[in-house]
Each structure stands twice: as structure tokens, then as C-alpha cells.
């Protein structure tokens, strides 16, 4: 009886890991596979402007190395840091406010099912209204300064968090609720010990989406009436014909986006270790 | 003692249970069989206090059941483990909010996981366990807060035949050791006969109590299932159930038409 039960762990012990060189080669192959498309893209960006494009087009699409050089210069003289800080500050502020508002609100709406049913169509409508379409409205109401930009980020971030939180609460396995009820749990304890932990991964997916949105939306907002920020940097560089610097700004934005997203992916995994690993 | 007194339960126009009366003495292992739609699960929900009878009453030690409580434990077919909790934390679930401190709860959980043969698996998450192991955890969870009654709703139906047989033996061992009253729903005649001291047969919709059969298989050691007594009891139940299963099938067919 017990021997059959302990069999799996014994088995794990016995299966030898593949020999070192083979594992290394596997890792290497996987790394090559994963980065091939990016490497190819980088190579094209470098080589096509250099050898294929004619003079005038190359002015607007310089080889990657020149753009990176511009990025390096921006980093050295501290200008990049200023813009980055301005952008990240706004994004983080808007994101934080959105999470602080949308998570509790979503829990409340999700817990009271009739309220969820009542609000759902409105929420769908709001979520599908592109945040940037509302930028003029925000500017009209809140002026051209920080407040309208941060508000726009808040607006863009609220929906994924809110909708995911509601969904997380609503999609709790009814059997788990029944099991908890059979143990005589009161509603508040049921909420704290079953609904909340079961909703955490779904809520966190919403939070991760919001973090991405906060950067995507902000950069666009900064192109209108800002005095600092990555969006401002990109826009003014273009206006002043500093094409390399414009691309440098774009690269910075996309690196920032990747960094933020992968950071949240790691966090998300930590919050949902109990979910079976998704096989890629 | 559990007393089911003229219990009727209707859902709208549908009568799930019709005037069911049954006494279950302390320490009894009762199997409950019946065709699908005979209200087996409804009866279990009533015992568990998850629903209330339309008429009649359910008594436990003379007191009417007023909702769920820790004097009864429920084990579900689909395990119903909390996936974000380890095996140990799942077993501790019913103990939280009780008198035990943190360390005592952990100790109790370890003890009951050992009882169901899962020592060494305390820190595994449900998704890391096989179906049989999950059900063991669920059983340990229900036993850990020491209810007098264990209510089991087809707990082994989703398991493969070998694991099922193993768990049936284990359950009998646990029952003998703990002296719990167990009400065990199944649609398997073999399972009902092998486990139950008494087997209650419900009729097809609406569920009425058709018969209660006493099963005497001695101490159920060795290959009881091949013995003549097992065969005789099994056949008796088969005859009792056969008509009901046919009726249920006819009912379903006419409903589908």
C-alpha cells in the first residue's frame, strides 16, 4: 500500500538527468530558436539601410547601430534618465491608482452577482472605447498638464483590472464553494478563504495587462503637450529632424515595455504556483 | 443517530425525494444506491444541511439539522480540494477558526494524512497528486475535525478500478478504526455490498425508499468479492435495482422524445 504510494518519489530519484553536454546543447538550441526572429530583425535593420536603401530613404531609416549610438549618447548625458523618469512616474502613478480603485471595486461587483449583471454591458462599452480617443476630452476637462495624462493612464488601466477581478470572483468553482459551505463557513470567511485566493491569478492577469497599457497609452499621451517623457522625446526628435534620436526613443520605449511585462510575468507566476504549469 | 422522518424534497414541479424515512444508528456504514435521478445526492445534501426538506425533518441525535456543521463531513466525487493549498493546508482548512493553534493544526493534519497513507506528501499541491491521492486528501480533510458522521457522494466513481478497490479497503479500515457513521452514495452494486453493513435502495424518480438490506460478510478479509455470500447479496440488490434502472431509462427516453 504505502510502497505503491511512495513509488513516484523513488522513481524521480532514479531517473538520471541527461548527461551534461547533451543538456547544454539542448539549452543552446532552445536559446537559438527563441532569439532567431529577433536576431534576424536586428540584422535586417542594420544591413538593409546600409546596403539596399538609397540615400534619401536611409535618412529616415538609419541603420540600427546609429540609432543605438544615439541612445547611448542620450544615456550618457542624462537626458534619457530624465525622460524615462518622467514617463515611469506618470505610468506608475496612474497604474497604482487604477489598481487601488479597480481591485476592491471588482471584488464588490463580482460578489454581488446582480450588480455584476447590471453593470457588465456598460463596462464592456467603456473597455472597448480606446483610451486615446478620450484624450481630447481629458485635455478639455483637466487641462494639458500632468493631471490629464495620469488620468488617461488610470482610465486605460482600470478596465482590464476591473473586468478580470469581476471574472475572477464570478468563475470560482461552485464545488469549492459548496465544500466550504459544508464546513459551515460564514459568508465573510467564505469570501476571504475561498473566493479571494481562487480569484488571485485572474486578478493578477488583469494587473499585468494594466501595467502594459499604462506605458502604451502614456507614450501616446506625451506626444501632445508634454515637456518631458519618452513620448515627448520621440515626437520632438522627429520634429527637429533628429532621426537617430527618434529611433533611440522608440527603442527605449519598447525595452521598457518588455522589461515591465516580463517583471509582472515573474510576479504572476509567483502568485499562482498552485496552478498547473502551462505547457508551451 | 441519524433520523430521516418522512422527508420530501421538491424542486418546482419535480419531486426529488418522496416521503423517505430511515434511521441510521451510530457507527453504521450505510450504502445508498439508486438509479440516476433517484435523489441520492439530494438526500446527502439534506443530511449535510446544504439544503432543507420541503416537508418532514432530518434529525441528528434528536436535533433537527439547521444548516451545515462540523459534526458532519462531506466528501465529494470531484475531490473539491482547494488548489492553492498544499495537501496539509487542505486538511487544516476545516480546523481553522477552531480551538487548535497553528502548530496543533499542522500536527493534526500530518496525523490524518498519515492515516490515509499520504505521509511525505504534505507539501504537494493538488495538481501534483493523482486522483486517488486527491481523494485521500479530501477524506483526511473531512476526518481531521472529527465529525461523527461522514457523508460521501460517489467518492470513488472518478477513479480507475484498481485505485477504487484500494481506497474501498482503506475506507473500511478507517471506518473500523474511527467508528464513524458513514453514509456512502454509489451507483455500483458491488461497491455498495462490499462496503455497506446496510444498503438502502432508492426508487427511480421520485426517490422513495424501496428497501434496506442488511449485508453480513463477516470481517470482509481476503477475497470477499468471490465468495458465495457476496454473490447472493449482490444478486438480491441487483434484482431490487434492476426494475428501477429500467424505469429510469424509460423515463429518460420519454423525456428526450
pLDDT score, position A276? 63
**Core vs surface per residue B168-196: b (16+ CB within 10 A) or e:** bebbbebbeeeebbbbbbbbbbbbbbbbb
Which of B69, B84, B130 best tests the A interface by mutation, with the highest count of A CBs <10 A? B84
Instruction: Compute the nearest-CA separation of B227 from chain A (Å).
Output: 24
Q: By three-state DSSP, how is residue B145 classified?
A: coil
Mean of pLDDT values over A3-22: 48
pTM value is 0.78
- Continuous segment of H or E residues that includes residue B14: strand B14-24
The C-alpha of A196 sits at a distance from chain B's nearest C-alpha, in angstroms, of 11
pLDDT (tens digit per residue) in B209-257: 887 888 877 767 777 777 778 888 888 888 888 877 777 777 777 777 6
B126 in contact with chain A, both atoms CB, cutoff 8 A? yes
Which residues are CB-neighbours of A245 under 8 A, at least 6 positions away? A70, A74, A233, A237
- Per the structure block, which three cell numbers stand in for A242? 533628429
Which residues of A are less than 8 Å from B170 in CB distance? Answer: 1
Q: Does B172 touch chain A (CB under 8 A)?
A: no
The vertex-B6 CA angle with B1 and B8, nearest 5°, equals: 115
pLDDT (0 to 100) of residue A76 = 92
Predicted confidence (pLDDT) at residue B207 exceeds the cutoff of 60? yes
Q: Are B29 and B37 in contact (CB under 8 A)?
A: no
Tens digit of each residue's pLDDT (9 = 90 or more) over A75-126: 999 999 999 999 999 999 999 999 999 999 999 999 888 888 888 889 888 8
Indicate if the pLDDT at residue A5 is higher than 70. Answer: no
> How many Å lie between the alpha carbon of B190 and the closest alpha carbon of chain A?
22
* Neighbour-count burial for B221-251, b at 16+ CB within 10 Å, e otherwise: eeeeeeeeebeebbebbeebbeebbebbeee
Q: What pLDDT, on a 0 to 100 scale, did the predictor assign at position A11?
A: 39
Is-contact A158 A106, C-beta < 8 A? no
Residue A47: all three cell numbers together: 544591413
CA distance B214 to B196: 8
Residue B219 near residue B226 (C-beta atoms within 8 A): no
Phi/psi zone of residue A242: left (φ > 0), alpha (ψ -120 to 50 degrees), beta? beta
Measured distance CA(A85)–CA(A79) in Å, rounded: 10
| A154-167 average pLDDT score | 93
Q: Which residues of B touch A184 (CB under 8 A)?
A: 67-70
| Contact flag A197-B78 (C-beta cutoff 8 Å) | no
| Phi and psi at residue B153, to the nearest 5° | -105, 95
Residue with cell 464553494: A177
CA distance A61 to A243: 8
Q: Is-contact A33 A26, C-beta < 8 A?
A: no
Amino acid at each position: 500500500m504505502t510502497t505503491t504510494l511512495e513509488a513516484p518519489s523513488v522513481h524521480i530519484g532514479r531517473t538520471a538527468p541527461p548527461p551534461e553536454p547533451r543538456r547544454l546543447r539542448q539549452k543552446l538550441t532552445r536559446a537559438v530558436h527563441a532569439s532567431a526572429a529577433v536576431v534576424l530583425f536586428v540584422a535586417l535593420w542594420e544591413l538593409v539601410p546600409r546596403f539596399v536603401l538609397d540615400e534619401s530613404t536611409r535618412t529616415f531609416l538609419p541603420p540600427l547601430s546609429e540609432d543605438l549610438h544615439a541612445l547611448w549618447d542620450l544615456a550618457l548625458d542624462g537626458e534619457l534618465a530624465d525622460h524615462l523618469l518622467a514617463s515611469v512616474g506618470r505610468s506608475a502613478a496612474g497604474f497604482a491608482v487604477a489598481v487601488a480603485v479597480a481591485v476592491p471595486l471588482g471584488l464588490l461587483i463580482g460578489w454581488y452577482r446582480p450588480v455584476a449583471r447590471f453593470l457588465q454591458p456598460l463596462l464592456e462599452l467603456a473597455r472597448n472605447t480606446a483610451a486615446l480617443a478620450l484624450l481630447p476630452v481629458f485635455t478639455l476637462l483637466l487641462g494639458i498638464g500632468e493631471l490629464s495624462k495620469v488620468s488617461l493612464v488610470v482610465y486605460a488601466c482600470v478596465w482590464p483590472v476591473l473586468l478580470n477581478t469581476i471574472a475572477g470572483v464570478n468563475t470560482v468553482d461552485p464545488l469549492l464553494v459548496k465544500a466550504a459551505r459544508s464546513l459551515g463557513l460564514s459568508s465573510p470567511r467564505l469570501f476571504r478563504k475561498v473566493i479571494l485566493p481562487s480569484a488571485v491569478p485572474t486578478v493578477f492577469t488583469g494587473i499585468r495587462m494594466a501595467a502594459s497599457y499604462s506605458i502604451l497609452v502614456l507614450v501616446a499621451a506625451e506626444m501632445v503637450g508634454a515637456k518631458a517623457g519618452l513620448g515627448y522625446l520621440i515626437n520632438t526628435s522627429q520634429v527637429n529632424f533628429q532621426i537617430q534620436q527618434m529611433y533611440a526613443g522608440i527603442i527605449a520605449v519598447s525595452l521598457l515595455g518588455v522589461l515591465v511585462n516580463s517583471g509582472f510575468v515573474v510576479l504572476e507566476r509567483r502568485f499562482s504556483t498552485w496552478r498547473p504549469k502551462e505547457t508551451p | 443517530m441519524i433520523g430521516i422522518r418522512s422527508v420530501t424534497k421538491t424542486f418546482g414541479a419535480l419531486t426529488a425525494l418522496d416521503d423517505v424515512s430511515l434511521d441510521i444508528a451510530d457507527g453504521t456504514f450505510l450504502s445508498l444506491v439508486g438509479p440516476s435521478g433517484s435523489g441520492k445526492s439530494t438526500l446527502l445534501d439534506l443530511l449535510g444541511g446544504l439544503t432543507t426538506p420541503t416537508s418532514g425533518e432530518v434529525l441528528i441525535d434528536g436535533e433537527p439539522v439547521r444548516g451545515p456543521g462540523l459534526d458532519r463531513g462531506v466528501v465529494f466525487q470531484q475531490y473539491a480540494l482547494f488548489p492553492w493549498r498544499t495537501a496539509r493546508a487542505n486538511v487544516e482548512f476545516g480546523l481553522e477558526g477552531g480551538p487548535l493553534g497553528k502548530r496543533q493544526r499542522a500536527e493534526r493534519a500530518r496525523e490524518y494524512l498519515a492515516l490515509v497513507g499520504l505521509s511525505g506528501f504534505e507539501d504537494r499541491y493538488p495538481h501534483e497528486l493523482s486522483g486517488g491521492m486527491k481523494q485521500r486528501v479530501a477524506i483526511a480533510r473531512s476526518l481531521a475535525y472529527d465529525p461523527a458522521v461522514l457523508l460521501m457522494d460517489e467518492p470513488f466513481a472518478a477513479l480507475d478500478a484498481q485505485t477504487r478497490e484500494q481506497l474501498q479497503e482503506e475506507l473500511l479500515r478507517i471506518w473500523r478504526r474511527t467508528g464513524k457513521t458513514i453514509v456512502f452514495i454509489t451507483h455500483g452494486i458491488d461497491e455498495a455490498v462490499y462496503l455497506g453493513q446496510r444498503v438502502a435502495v432508492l426508487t427511480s424518480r421520485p426517490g422513495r425508499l424501496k428497501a434496506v438490506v442488511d449485508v453480513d460478510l463477516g470481517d470482509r478479509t481476503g477475497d470477499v468479492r468471490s465468495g458465495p455470500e457476496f454473490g447472493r447479496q449482490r444478486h438480491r440488490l441487483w434484482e431490487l435495482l434492476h426494475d428501477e434502472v429500467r424505469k429510469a431509462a424509460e423515463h429518460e427516453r420519454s423525456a428526450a422524445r
